[in-house]
Every structure is written in C-alpha cells, then in structure tokens.
Structure 1
Amino acid sequence: MKPIGFWFAHLHQALESSLEKVLADESLTRRHWQVLNTIDSGASVDDALSPFGERRETVADLRARGWIDDDGLTGTGREVHLRIKTKVGAFRSRATEGISDEEYRTTVGVLERMAANLARE
C-alpha cells in the first residue's frame, strides 16, 4: 500500500487538473470560480478576495466580462455562476462516486486532525 502522502499529492493533482478542464469551457481559473462562488454566497467583492489573497486581476477580469460590479454578481454573472455551479457539482459527484457520505466525512475528519497535529509543531 502506498503512503498517504502519495495519495494526497496524487488526488490534489487530479482534482486540480480535472477542475481546470471544467472551468476551461468558460475561460476561467479556479480563482475566478472561488471569487464568483464567494460573492454568490453574499460576500462583498473585497470579502470574496480575502481568503485567497489579493487577486485584483481576477476581479478586474470578472468586471470586464460584466459578471460582477460593486453590488456583487450582475444578472449575467448570476447566470454564468449557476451554469458553472452545475458543472462543478457534476465534477464533485464524479470525484466522490462510490463514496458514502459517512466515508467522505470520516476522510475529511481524519485529514483535518492530521493537519491540526502538524500545525501544533
């Protein structure tokens, strides 16, 4: 059996490259998706950036596309977000196919505890 580090790195790369393909249809990056999704949850544009570091170029691009303005998502932005959200939901379903909710929660809980253990160092 390969160690957890191998599977973690392999899964991370698979998730990143698969999500990149999902977003490529809209000429978006993961950062675009994160900002759109955070704004959709009710956060301001500035708050949407804070978890991801300063990414003003991402916001500038979304503004240029007409998807966000000072008030959040525009009508077009909401339509695009919903379309992408559906694609991302299908991606997530593929990634967790054959995995029960309990198995998923257990896996995430174990990874969270491992990260906490190492954070104490």
Structure 2
Amino acid sequence: MLQQNTTKRIGYWLLLLHQAFDAATTTALRDVGLNRRQWQVLHAIHIGVRTVPGIDEAFAPFLVADGERSYRPVVEDFVARGWARLDGDTITSTEVGAEAHARAEVLVNEHAAKQLRGITQEEFLAANDVLRRIAENMRENGSA
C-alpha cells in the first residue's frame, strides 16, 4: 500500500501547498500589485494564451477553487492598468504589460528559488509527473 497510516496523506500536502503558494506568491508580488492568480493570468498572456476562454481552460481547477466562473475580470483589470487590450475574447499584451510581466517574473523566480531550495530539477519534474499521473488516474476512474 502506497499510503502510510497517517493523517497527513497526499491531499493534506496538496491543500497545504496550494494555500502556502497563494499566500507566499502574493507576498512576493506585493510590490507589483499582483496576487498569485493575477500573476498566472499575466504569465499565460505573456507566453501566448490569447483568449479569455483559453485562460479559463488553462486555469480551470483554480476557477473552481476560487469560486469563479471566469478570469475575464482579471484580464479586464489588466486592460484598466494598460497592460493588455481586449477585443471580445481576444487578449493582446501591451508594451507596458510586457514590462510588468518582466518585473513580476524576476520576483516569482526569486520566490521559487527560495521555495524549491534543496530540490533538484529531476526531483521537481518527477513530482510533477507523479501528480499528473494521479490526476489522470482519477479522471479515468471518474473521480475528477
């Protein structure tokens, strides 16, 4: 049996990590006025996710966790800041948005380096792969 006789099984650690990442990332990004979800959406736009439905699909589990139906309000906030343009569902980053992303990415990378201290790239990739496979197993079994 893979699970030990403990109250701190995988679900415990996943929820703890989710909460800790939200709080710590928001703290790391305070100076650029972003929280974790806003950072994720800004980064997605920067790497080429160009529609609101694409953003929502990329972050579907977070929509559920956040009790939201769409991240359109986040994109609209970026439009108000001058970081993006929105034409219907199509998102275009602006030069100011690219500069904001670059500033935030430095902070996120510094934050990640601290949080992942002592973990090799191979360990990190292996952990991601294990979690992906568990999620796929759950989907196949109708659990997710």
| TM-score, length-scaled by structure 1 | 0.84
Question: What does the per-residue CA deviation read over 1:29-75, in whole Å, with 9 as the maximum and x for residues that have no partner?
Answer: 33321221112112324355332452222122111111112462212
Query: Which of 51-60 and 13-22 deviates more?
Result: 51-60
Aligned length: 121
Indicate the structure with greater helix content: 1
Q: CA RMSD in A?
A: 2.1
Unpaired runs of at least 5, structure 1: none
Following TM superposition, by how much is the alpha carbon of 1:89 offset from its aligned partner in structure 2, in angstroms? 1.0
Identity %: 35
Pairing partner for 2:77 from 52, 61, 64 = 61
**Do the aligned partners of residues 104 and 49 (structure 1) sit closer, same or farther apart at CA in structure 2, a change above 3 Å counting?**
closer
Is contact 2:52-2:71 (8 Å) kept?
Answer: no
The answer (yes or no) to whether the contact 1:20–1:29 under 8 Å persists in 2 is yes
Moved more, 78-87 or 25-34: 25-34
Deviation of the 1:86 alpha carbon: 0.9
Cα distance in structure 1, aligned partners of 2:44 and 2:54: 5
Tell me the residue number matched to 2:106: 86
- Measured against aligned partners, the alpha-carbon deviations of 1:87-106 in whole angstroms (never above 9, x if no partner) come to 11111111211011111122
Letter of the 2:127 partner, please give it. T
- The alignment's TM-score, normalised by the length of structure 2, stands at 0.72
Distance in 1 of aligned mates of 2:47 and 2:94: 14
| Shift in Å, 1:120 | 2.0
Alignment correspondent of 2:9: 3
For 2:105 and 2:53, the matched residues in 1 are separated by 20
Q: Distance in 1 between matches of 2:71 and 2:112?
A: 25
Residue from 37, 50, 61 that aligns with 2:56? 50
**1:35 touches 1:48 (CA, 8 Å); kept in 2?**
no
The match for 1:34 among 28, 40, 50 is 40
- Written as runs of structure 1 = structure 2, the 5 A alignment for 1:87-102 is 87-102=107-122
